[in-house]
């Protein structure tokens, strides 16, 4: 049997209306959808009633499918001739393990395509009035994972080095390690007065932003009860948020089916 194609599709940051037209079309054509925890359920409704829906999400602190099992599921579905959409929050190639899944598909001889999605850093910034680049304030953007324990000896993210780049830093999955991250950035020379913002559940009904500085943002996150998913943005451009933030969850228009 000729293998079906697996589409690694970015679902975007949460707002269903940020889905691409190609992603919408593929959902309507899929025989099976393998989806993540943060994917809005409205997107699953775009699939045909006969489409098989398989949850493969990961929740912090909750036992979930190992990546190897997800890879095997995608390969197995495709080898039965099915068209498969692997629906991933944000963009599949930015902290989404899309690269690992693509390698597994390639090794198994399964055809695949990558469909980009709006990644959380871009959406959280845009919906919170933060221009990640600005002619006068920032000419570089760095995407970092905060999930890695900053205290481990073999950590691959050397925060002190990024403190000296004079760039906008966007930190994914950094709530748990936020105190250590901010402390190490200060140790690397970044001023405690550097503007910072946390955006929780960006673009959704739960969207909220907390603004402060590098020196205060960790304490603010605790006092405000910030929880994942949340994006940390550090840099001079974060100061624009208080003036340019435009999004209010209550103003969202329901997605037409």
DSSP codes of every residue in the chain: -PPPPEEEEE-BSS-GGGS-HHHHHHHHH-SEEEE-TTS-HHHHTTS-TTSEEEE----TTS----HHHHHHHHHHHHHTT--EEEEESB-TTSSSSHHHHHHHHHHTT--EEEE----HHHHHHHHTT--S-BTTTBS-EEEEE--S-TTSTT-S--HHHHTTS-SEEEEES-STTHHHHHHHHHHTT--TTSEEEEEESTTSTT-EEEEEETTTHHHHHHHTT--SSEEEEESGGGGGHHHH----GGGPPPPP-
Domain boundaries, the chain: 6-115, 120-244
For the chain, the average pLDDT equals 93
pLDDT digits (tens, 9 = 90+) for 56-75: 987 665 557 899 999 999 99
Q: Is 88 a catalytic residue?
A: no
pLDDT value of position 255: 54
Q: What average pLDDT does this structure show over 172-186?
A: 96
Q: Is 82 a catalytic residue?
A: no
pLDDT above 90 covers a percentage of the chain that reads: 87
The CATH code of the domain at 6-115 is 3.40.1010.10
Q: pLDDT band for position 155 (50/70/90)?
A: confident
Model confidence, pTM: 0.91
pLDDT digits (tens, 9 = 90+) for 123-150: 999 999 999 999 999 999 999 999 876 6
Q: pLDDT band for position 117 (50/70/90)?
A: very high
- Is the pLDDT confidence value at 120 over 80? yes
Catalytic one of 15, 22, 45, 58: 58
* Fold of the 120-244 domain: 3.30.950
Q: pLDDT band for position 249 (50/70/90)?
A: confident
Q: What average pLDDT does this structure show over 152-168?
A: 89
Catalytic one of 31, 36, 71, 91: 36
């Amino acid at each position: 049997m000729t293998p079906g194609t697996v589409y690694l599709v970015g679902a975007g940051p949460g707002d269903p209306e940020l889905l691409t037209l190609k992603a919408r079309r593929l959902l309507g054509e899929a025989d099976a959808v393998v989806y993540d925890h943060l994917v809005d359920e409205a997107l699953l409704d775009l699939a045909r009633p006969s489409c098989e829906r398989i949850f493969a999400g990961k929740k912090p602190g909750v036992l979930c499918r190992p990546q190897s099992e997800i890879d095997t599921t995608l390969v197995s579905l495709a080898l039965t001739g099915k068209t498969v959409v692997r629906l991933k929050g944000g963009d599949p190639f930015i902290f989404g393990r899309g690269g690992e899944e693509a390698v597994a598909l390639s090794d198994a001889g399964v055809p695949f395509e990558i469909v980009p999605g709006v990644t959380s850093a871009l959406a959280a910034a845009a919906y919170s009035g933060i221009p990640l680049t600005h002619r006068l304030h920032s000419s570089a953007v760095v995407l970092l994972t905060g999930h890695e324990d900053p205290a481990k000896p073999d950590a691959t993210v050397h925060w002190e080095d990024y403190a000296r780049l004079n760039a906008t830093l966007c930190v994914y999955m950094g709530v748990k390690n936020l105190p250590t991250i901010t402390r190490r950035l200060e140790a690397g020379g970044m001023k405690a007065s550097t503007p910072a913002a946390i955006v929780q559940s960006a673009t959704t009904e739960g969207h909220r932003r907390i603004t402060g500085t590098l020196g205060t943002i960790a304490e603010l996150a605790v006092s405000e009860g910030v929880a994942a998913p949340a994006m940390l943005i550090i840099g001079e451009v974060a100061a624009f948020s208080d003036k340019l933030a435009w999004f209010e969850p209550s103003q969202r228009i329901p997605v037409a089916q």
